[in-house]
Amino acid sequence: MKKLILVLALLLFPAMSYSAEPDPDLAKEVEIGRRAVKQIEEKWPLTSDPAIVSKLEMILRRLEPHMSRRINWEVRLVKTEALNAFCIPGGFIFFTTGIVDALKTDSELAAVMAHEMIHADRKHSLRMSAESNKVTLGALAVMILSGGAAAPIILAQVAQVAITSAYTTELEAEADRLGLDALIKSGYSPTGMITLFEHFMAEEYKQPIAEYGIYMNHPDTPKRLAAAVKTLHDRNIPIERKYSLGLLRTEIREGANDITLKVDGVTAVTGKKNPETRALMSSIRGEIDKYLQLELAPYDIHVERGALYIGNHFVAGNSDGMTKPDDIRRNLIRAINAGRAKYPTSKFFK
């Protein structure tokens, strides 16, 4: 009986990445974080938009098992157009409404969340402050929590590192690497980190001198992007931007006499309304959803002996009363080109 219960537990609650032992210093971290949060919330207005907060909490819960420490994470939403997200020691995560509005999908939000969680999980801002003050982490905690004359200054320093993302190149690289790993393990599209960096680069081109936050002190974004791309290539994980950008979405519409399959609003296939056409449309849609990607070259979508293929995958053949395969091909390429045009800084073929 005990063995059966163990098997069921493993099936229902798969192995997590938590460390086996609790962190004895975490309580001090949380208290430091609470004091920093109090200062932050006195300056920045919070909003309690339930839809956004619920989404962020859902993302947080999926990423949480893939951190190394048992932290009681909390998420807060700051009402400002600034593009920023940061995590205070002790697991207090802040997102601005600006960055939530700017990012396209849960995968991109998860990429930001994972990166910031790693900073707190690995004590990055505390480690930097301890190093700059030439003390140990334990001594730093005593200095902040003692209430001495230096406490407010050091506390502000810890918070400032997190808020402005003023981490060293090495710590940023660690947050990128471990954050990407958490994305993969949690089931989010890891391409979310690729498109996130591409958003950074596009914003830097438009606004070289950005406000505080995630764009500040990130002159190495191209290098960070290249490192993430290399990681995915090395792990044989395809880069598929449509999932993190919310593009190439299909829908089937039925009119009085016909059925139409659209890709991002572009008509791809039409046919006479009947049960056979409805079944074919559903099949074609399934193949397009699985195999049509922004990264495809035109020759990847081809017609052979009257049948349409994406790569080696059959999509559609000739059928009476339906769009011909050659025309479907042209329509799909048009949809891809329209999607790419929205993100001209992305290198889809690299």
| Identity of the amino acid at 16 | M
Give the tens place of pLDDT for each residue, 109-147: 999 999 999 999 999 998 888 887 777 777 767 777 777
3-state helix, strand, coil in the chain (%, to 5): 55, 15, 35
Average of pLDDT values for 333-343?
A: 95
Bridging pattern class, strands 313-316 and 301-304 = unpaired
Least confident of 142-156, 162-176, 207-221, 260-274: 207-221
Using DSSP, state whether 110 is helix, strand or coil: helix
Give the tens place of pLDDT for each residue, 66-105: 999 999 999 999 999 888 999 999 999 999 999 999 998 9
Give the tens place of pLDDT for each residue, 309-321: 999 999 999 998 9
| Structure tokens, 195 | 């498109």
**Which residues have a Cβ under 8 Å from the Cβ of 206 and sit 6 or more positions away?**
none
CA atoms within 13 A on the CB side of 59: 25
Burial of residue 167 (number of CB atoms within 10 Å: 0-12, 13-18, 19+) = buried
Return d(Cα 156, Cα 40) in angstroms, integer. 10
pTM of the model: 0.85
Q: In what order do the strands lie in the sheet with 92-96?
A: 74-78, 92-96, 85-88
Please list the residues that pair with 302 across neighbouring strands: 309
